[in-house]
Structure 1
Amino acid sequence: MERTQFYNTLVERLGRRTTRAVLGLCGFRNDALREYLRTLFDREAGTPGAFLADPVFEAGFGWQLAERTLGDLEGKLLHPDLVRALRKPWKKGLSEDYSFPARRRPYRHQLEAWQALIQGQPPRSVLVTSGTGSGKTECFLIPILNDL
């Protein structure tokens, strides 16, 4: 099966199933209303009134690592207690998924946000735009924890 045909078929199926699910959950008793909405939602993806927009494919690129490690930042940019807490979570069972070893290098956008938020005088706001999974939460959370 050609790639575009696979995606077209997938989008069509998603649209039909989603339409049926939504109409079923709404439980409309009026047959004319239900049929009107089904016809409206069943339009080809991306057309006005269709339940689904056109699919969007976006290339994902890796994020650049900072040159410094968390260990390098300990006692300089970040409080030693914070770096230790990140290295060794206090609750058992968390260390495998939630520990940040001293040798770990944050992403460059994280380090730049930390520097602006921790060292910046006077304090200022920072806007971070980056892809899903790039550590945007850590951009603001680490400075908050560092301040505690």
Structure 2
Amino acid sequence: MPPASPSARFFEPLVRDLVERSASSLLGIYGPRTDSLRTFLSQVLQKPAGHPDSFLADPVFEAIFDWETADVTMSDLAERDFLTEALVAAMGTEADDERLKEYVFPRSGNRSLTNMRRGST
């Protein structure tokens, strides 16, 4: 197994807490009455996130890090039929909700072409 990246190590305590708290919550909500069943479920539910038998999938934190920009604008991507004009227009429209105002992608701004090629924006 390759060594964990610095960002993965940064989030290890958070992921561990998510696994432990979700297991504890489920056991608290459903309250198995027998000790052996409770122990078994606790062991199953507390497997590390992303493990094949885990209750939780690998977390995704990519959105909180800055993107590496490309020398291609949103308009360029629309002109090349990589994105539709309607999508570029929608992504460039500022939301009414104050919390969403930072999620505007201007036509002239550079974006992460690598992430767009992967399908994640």
The TM-score, its normalising length taken from structure 1, stands at 0.39
Which structure has the larger Rg over C-alpha atoms?
Answer: 1
TM-score, normalising length from structure 2? 0.47
